[in-house]
Structure 1
Amino acid sequence: MKNILLIVTNIDRYASGHLKTGLWLSELTHIYQSAKIKEWAVTIASPKGGNTPVDPESLKPLVLDTISKKYYESPEFMNELAHTRSLDEIKDESFDCIYLTGGHGTMYDFPDNVTLQEILRNQYENNKMVAAICHGVGGLLNVRLSNGEYMIKGRNITGFDWFEETLARRKNEVPFNLEAALKERGVHYKKALIPMTSNVVADGNLITGQNPFSSKEMAKVVVSELEKETFSLRT
């Protein structure tokens, strides 16, 4: 049986205070369901622990898929989201996969979280899977390996691109340009030919998804790769 850690945000508003944000629901529900079907252990944690808000944009009819709707209407699941464990609580536990979910809230409480950086460095250097989707990829930006190099330097990676940010009408709200920040770290940035379409990039024990529309494929790839367990560590 595998043991998976899903990390979510605690942030419910942009810095401007004008708009609500939070977790993009499908970026959690698809991997959650896939793991549950396999009867794997699933832990949901957040930087501070406690409640993770759901971005109201992710609940709109055009993007709320059947799986996400099912979980949003599940009192048991929503109770899990209301009582996440903190990163400090789980930092010494062992997981086969650490998966950073997205939503714009993650841009505020993932990138500079030292505990998260430590957890991800240990996971990566122990040749275990690190996965991130959409804005959650920002949580990888400042992780340094024991040799001082950025963990993502030279790796094939994707994440929510700047044009998609324009389409989402959040360009003037977000704290930074994720696509540009990733490129500054020396990654090989890979984006879908058509914006807002599924794109998953697997590079050894590092797997990233571009946007919410990658949620389903991300879950499939993560499960498939975890069942292989044949990573070759690159540093």
Structure 2
Amino acid sequence: MTRVLIALTSHSELGDTGRSTGFYVSEAAEPWAVFTDSGFDVDLVSVAGGRPPLDGLNADDPIQQKFLAAVDLDHTPTAGELDASSYDAILFAGGHGTMWDFPNDEALASLAAAIYERGGVVAAVCHGPSALVNLKLTDGSYLVDGKNVAGFTNAEEEAVGLTDVVPFLLADALTARGAIHHPAANFTPQTITDGRLVTGQNPQSAESTARAVVEVIRQA
């Protein structure tokens, strides 16, 4: 049985704005639906474990409601509690919270690197690629170095008015690690597959990114 892991942020504060953040529910729910419909087992992991904070919840969205009813958000494990050999892929869901805790979670980075190095897929959508900024392989190279990637763009960050709130600009940080970042028009679907690395630009890219992961797994 193919098993896929969806990684979620545990960070709930949007900088100093007084606003809350967390994982963007659609960016976990839509991939979960694609994976489960494909017959995959899906587990969750979060930076701090326990119940991660939610953002962007649409109570009228049937996929989100089905996801929330099916998963156990109250008891997510941390990366250190999981074994990379159990998983064929990991997908980092977005949400602005990821910008604060994904890049510095060494256990999560190690787990993803191990999944990748044993032939698995690493995927991320929207701000989820923040997890890739400091992700190194065992040879010391950055996973994204020389890879074509998508991720929330500088223009999109400006459009939502958070350029000066986030700790760094995601597209710039990925480029600094050697990635080749491909921006599409604001809030249009954009998914890029480069080998076993699959990245999506924004919430509109969550479903297509998950479908691309399924395709890579089935071609392996």
Partner of residue 151, structure 1: 143
Q: CA deviation at 1:100?
A: 0.6
After superposition, the Cα gap between the structure-2 partners of 1:14 and 1:91, relative to the gap in structure 1 and judged at 3 Å, is farther
Structure 2 residue 29 is matched with structure 1 residue 29: yes
Runs of 4+ in 1 over 3 A off after TM superposition: 69-72
Alignment of 1:143-182 (within 5 A): 143-182=135-174
Partner of residue 67, structure 2: 71
Q: CA deviation at 1:39?
A: 2.8
Q: CA deviation at 1:182?
A: 0.8
Counterpart Cα distance in 1 of 2:118 and 2:58: 39
In the TM superposition, what whole-angstrom CA distance separates every residue of 1:81-110 from its partner, at most 9, and x where no partner exists? 222111111145420011111001111111
Counterpart Cα distance in 1 of 2:38 and 2:116: 23
RMSD: 1.7
The answer to whether the 8 A contact 2:46-2:52 is kept is: yes
Partner of residue 197, structure 1: 188
Number of matched residues? 220
Gaps of 5+ in 1: 230-235
| SS class of match (1:154) | coil
Letter in 1 for 2:134: N
The answer to whether the 8 A contact 1:91-1:115 is kept is: no
Structure 2 residue 213 is matched with structure 1 residue 222: yes
After superposition, the Cα gap between the structure-2 partners of 1:3 and 1:188, relative to the gap in structure 1 and judged at 3 Å, is same
In the TM superposition, what whole-angstrom CA distance separates every residue of 1:36-72 from its partner, at most 9, and x where no partner exists? 22332111011121011111xx1358xx744224435
The answer to whether the 8 A contact 1:87-1:116 is kept is: yes
Q: CA deviation at 1:117?
A: 1.6
Counterpart Cα distance in 1 of 2:124 and 2:73: 18
TM-score of the aligned structures, taking structure 2 as reference length: 0.94
The answer to whether the 8 A contact 2:124-2:198 is kept is: yes
Counterpart Cα distance in 1 of 2:12 and 2:27: 16
Counterpart Cα distance in 2 of 1:176 and 1:70: 34
In the TM superposition, what whole-angstrom CA distance separates every residue of 1:101-136 from its partner, at most 9, and x where no partner exists? 100111111101111121122122222100011111
Alignment of 1:127-146 (within 5 A): 127-146=119-138
Letter in 1 for 2:32: Y
Letter in 2 for 1:103: G
Partner of residue 20, structure 1: 20
Counterpart Cα distance in 1 of 2:64 and 2:192: 23
Structure 2 residue 10 is matched with structure 1 residue 10: yes
Counterpart Cα distance in 1 of 2:14 and 2:102: 14
Q: CA deviation at 1:224?
A: 1.8
| SS class of match (1:99) | strand
Counterpart Cα distance in 1 of 2:65 and 2:193: 28
Counterpart Cα distance in 2 of 1:199 and 1:92: 28
User: Which stretch shifts more, 165-174 or 179-188?
Assistant: 165-174
